[in-house]
Chain A
Amino acid sequence: MRDAFDVLGVEPRFGLDLTELEAHHRKLSAELHPDRQSASSAAERAAKLTQLSEVNQAYRSLSDPISRAEQLLQRRGESVPATKTAELLQRIFEQRQSVENAKDEGNACRLSDWVTAARARQAALASELSAFFDGEPTVLPVPHQQIAPVFEELRYLKKIIERAERALDELE
């Protein structure tokens, strides 16, 4: 099955240049969009519309670091790791708690500080993934179970950040 890298025709790496990806997506969209198909037959138009829908889905999924990493793993024939260590669960619980507390207090300042910190943490986790996927092949390969906690934390962080930002919207 074709994955998002195939659909967009980009090199399968974790560290994609997102500006380039955006320009590439725009170029493909312009070629496939039904408004540019006035000369094509109905069947051709329909085929290109389906293709555009796939291109849009692929673009969305590669823009997100988590799903980008998942697809890289799948390409290597490895399953997406899942883990729930006590330590990780504890950390996530604390993070969620501090968001809930700030939210209940109506403390916009603390919430926004938390979001800034969480974003930094997200970036750090993403660079761990980047080292894992795009690192020099001479480096001893890390068994993919070891990056499972990184995945798990990124997934949870994404959800908590969404929650915090929604709370921020309502507070401000």
Chain B
Amino acid sequence: MNHAIGIDLGTTNSLVACVTEGKPRILLSAEGNTLLPSVVYYAADGRTLVGEQAEHFAHQQPERALSSVKRYLGLSAREAELRPLTGLRLAKPLSDEEAKVVRFDLGERGVTPVEASAEILRALAATARAELGVLGLTVVTVPAYFDDAQRQATRDAARLAGFESVRLLNEPTAAALAYGLSARKEGLFAVYDWGGGTFDISILRLQASVFQVKSTGGDTALGGDDIDAALAAELLTALGFNEESLTQSSIRCLLQTARSLKHQLSLQHTVQTRLLRVDGTAGTFELTRGDLEKIVQPLLERTGRAVKRAFRDASVECSDLDGVILVGGATRIPCVIQFVTNLFQQIPLQGIDPDCVVAEGAALQADLLQNRGGSGLLLDVLPLSLGIELMGGGVERLLTRNAPVPTAAHGIFTTAADNQTGYELHVLQGEREMARDCRSLAKFLLSGIPAMPAGRARLHVAFCIDENGLLTVSAREATTDITQVVEVQPSYGLTREQIDQMVAQHIRYRSEDEETRKLAEFRVHGAALLKAVSSALASDADLLTKAEEQEITASVERLKSGLTSANRSLLLELLLHELHALTESFNERKVNRTIVSRVTGQTLRGRA
């Protein structure tokens, strides 16, 4: 039997879950973890590591690792530059075609967020396959507020990762599904979902196992990452640095410190940390919950605005709610919980781990779709309005946000000049009044319009939204009987050919035979190195400081476990390098000692 799975492809962590005996269950990776850090490490030859292993080596070579790539899905190169402090290096686009998709600079090549996300999806699929065998339908979650380009990019990543049958599901809906199905509740619910990179609010009605989204809102550029960035910026000022003077790796280090301080403050009231000032002296910094609250407050207010709008769009009030569901790591912060309680005037539901709830809901939906013929049903809405650019830069909205999907709409446009034979249609998504402030989704050239006076042509433009919330656009000129040809020029994203190329490239990089050969080779090297190091430690450990010895022992342990469990040659290669580097000076010292003892030995013998 094929197994349906649900995947939460997160900014910070990703998870995969399945349903057994009607209950959702998070699948454990080979290392025994539920959360896979959304970090990808790239070797120069294109081989990759994902998750904790990638995180480990990212500390040593930050320039070779990518994290928080979800924030860049569906963005152009120019938009990506506007994102806050992340420590990721962006590649300069070489052409307009390239500028449509942001690429991370890894020296020898650029990597798109779609490719990096596909690596994460592949790692999750491997985890699922190891336990379940053949995989069936896969549900991948996306923030409800993702626009069409971001959804397409997620879909592309799944295709690149080799998934056959994929459905997208909004994260808050997944969370509601997990709560609703497990508790068999009915009524009106709000899902407040604040994850690593995005904020989402959804209002849903659950009735007779039909989950109907009433409205959704949010901010795709507002997440826990922004708290880290704001906290890191505070630390920078306190230490006397300015951002420009820092290297990418020290920015990442600082972000990591900020994140860990944030986490600690969810458990305790104050934390202390020792950091180096710009003048090289070390200082102890104390941070209280109050300090963190000051940083979080403006971000909370932005979430509050989105919540109010979602209420308005759903034509409901706080008092109509039967429950509030918290999702995402940021909702662990005490002042966030307090804010939500005040905002909704009720204590939020907390029964399911906010990190796992989305993956569990995704697995439930996958199971419903594949195995139960849809006994439960999800009815979703369009998150953002869709329209066409008008002369003068305004926007004519054809579909307004929160329209239930699937849906369709059409508009009629006309020519502005006499004998105009071509018409460029610019498809936009967003709530702003001017085209330049909205997301540009696509440009269509409607050509072959017969020559006629301005204003005579009748251009029918039809928008069609399918059950996945994805858009297709068609256009025809109505005064002639001939349906006109439409040229599609997506403003964002990868073309079908580019994806196919990437798949081919992936196969080339990952020749199975080559990988097996390398794995065997590194296993032999690894075993030899372990033997050498352990005998050296047995005889000459006194040459090492306590700290050096600890570091070497830790590295030995990592290599040992790598030798038994690693299925990627790159992991073994990197672990070997690490132990090599750590024992290099130890070896030198050992050689010196041997020489010294020989020399002294000879002298002694000479005297005798």
Interface residues of A (CB under 8 A from B): 25-26, 29-30, 33-36, 38-39, 49, 52-54, 56-57, 59-60, 165-166, 169-170, 172
Contacts and interface: CB of A to CB of B under 8 A. Distances in A.
Interface string B301-325: 1001100110010000000000000
B28 interface: no
B374 A35 contact: yes
B431 interface: yes
A167 B501 CA distance: 46
A29 B304 contact: no
B181 interface: no
B301 A33 contact: no
22 contacts: A26-B379, A29-B377, A29-B379, A29-B404, A33-B379, A35-B368, A35-B467, A36-B374, A49-B467, A53-B407, A56-B403, A56-B404, A57-B408, A57-B409, A59-B404, A60-B400, A60-B407, A165-B309, A170-B305, A172-B301, A172-B304, A172-B305
Contacts of A53: 406-408, 464-465
Contacts of A59: 404
Given A56-B404, A56-B405, A56-B406, A38 B373 contact: yes
- Most chain B CB neighbours (cut-off 10 Å) among A30, A34, A38: A30
Contacts of B408: 53-54, 57
B212 interface: yes
A56 to B, nearest CB: 4
B403 A33 contact: no
> What range describes how many residues of B lie at the interface?
20 to 34
Contacts of B369: 35
B207 A26 contact: yes
Interface of B: 205, 207, 210, 212, 301, 304-305, 308-309, 312, 368-369, 373-374, 377-379, 400, 403-409, 431, 464-467
Contacts of B379: 26, 29-30, 33
Given A39-B373, A53-B465, A57-B409, 5 more contacts: A26-B379, A35-B369, A36-B377, A53-B408, A172-B308
Contact of B406 (A36, A39, A52): A52
Nearest to A49: B406
Contact of B312 (A39, A54, A56, A165): A165
Contacts of A49: 406, 466-467
A24 B189 CA distance: 20
A29 B373 CA distance: 15
Contacts of B312: 165
A30 B308 contact: no
B210 A30 contact: yes
B90 to A, nearest CB: 30
A49 B305 CA distance: 35
Nearest to B400: A60
Query: What are the 9 closest A-B residue pairs judged by CB atoms, nearest first?
Result: A35-B374, A56-B404, A36-B374, A56-B407, A53-B406, A38-B373, A53-B408, A169-B305, A29-B379
A116 B48 CA distance: 58
A122 to B, nearest CB: 13
A60 B305 contact: no
